[in-house]
Amino acid sequence: MEWADEGVVLAVRRLGESGVVASVLTREHGRHPGLVHGGAGKAKRGVLQPGNRVRAWWRSRLAEQLGSYRLELVQAHAADLFDDPGPLAALASACALCEVVLPERVPHAAAHAALVALLDALGSESWPSVYVHWELALLRDLGYGLDLTQCAATGANDGLAFVSPKSGRAVSLSAGEPYRDKLLVLPPFLVKGGEGDRAAVFEGLKLSGFFLDHHVLVPHHLVMPAARSRLVDRFRP
């Protein structure tokens, strides 16, 4: 069994004295692990940084076995962001989330494309807003997309200010005001476009984080990755 694919390194763990197991989100084969012989050495350490885009060749005697990887660096996103702690924290959070929530060896082409787009956007000033959109896109790919197009109570598509924690649908300011304490804040930039300020990004992260917890993590006895929590703390008032 062997294949070649494009991918993004998500995580790496040591195996033996010199080997590592690399988890790579590939375009056609999903989140897929593989042994990298000599991966703990200096020669390959630069390639095996989470967030790096790679060309991957995987090989194994049987499809269900761990198999081995040969990885070739395409773009060193981790090194590009080394002196920029905010975007670097977003990179670490995105890779950690994908490692936790995406099933192993199940194709998720949309998730791969979205992660690549996020990595390309981390060099821009709008990266915080892009990151929130990315988490919502990840939820959609997992089957838990939010409906932010119109009010769940009135059907109107203006004045949207809240999200129902039960239905994942938007609620207008007028319809939701009596229930404000039970609803989640919907930052305007998620409806109108553009960029959100620091407070809006924090509310956006709270929104996506709630549904990631409720629909994906808790039902499978998983916890939010520490890297994601550290990113949220950067925007906490």
Q: Over the chain, what is the mean pLDDT?
A: 94
How much is the pLDDT for 43? 81
CATH class of residue range 2-80: mainly beta
**Listed residue (29, 84, 82, 83) closest to 56, CA to CA:** 29
- Quick one: how far is CA 147 from the chain centroid? 19
For residue 205, pLDDT over 90 is answered with: yes
- 106-159 pLDDT, tens per residue? 999 999 999 999 999 999 999 999 999 999 999 999 999 999 999 998 888 888
In this prediction, residues 160-169 reach a mean pLDDT of 95
C-alpha to C-alpha distance for 185 and 236, rounded to whole angstroms: 15
How much is the pLDDT for 106? 95
What predicted TM-score, i.e. pTM, was given to this entire model? 0.94
C-alpha to C-alpha distance for 117 and 114, rounded to whole angstroms: 5
How much is the pLDDT for 139? 97
Encoded tokens for 158: 């203006």
CB within 8 Å of 51: residues ≥ 6 apart: 8, 9, 77, 78, 81, 91, 92, 94, 95, 119
The answer to whether 179 and 165 are in contact (CB under 8 A) is no
From-to residues of CATH 2.40.50.140 in the chain = 2-80
How much is the pLDDT for 65? 87
Encoded tokens for 21: 């197991």
C-alpha to C-alpha distance for 134 and 114, rounded to whole angstroms: 7
C-alpha to C-alpha distance for 161 and 176, rounded to whole angstroms: 8
Residue keyed to tokens 């590592």: 20
The answer to whether 235 and 128 are in contact (CB under 8 A) is yes
- 31-54 pLDDT, tens per residue? 999 999 988 888 888 899 999 999
How much is the pLDDT for 99? 98
C-alpha to C-alpha distance for 68 and 132, rounded to whole angstroms: 34
For residue 64, pLDDT over 90 is answered with: no
Residue keyed to tokens 């989100």: 25
Residue 117 burial (CB count, 10 A): 13
For residue 164, pLDDT over 90 is answered with: yes
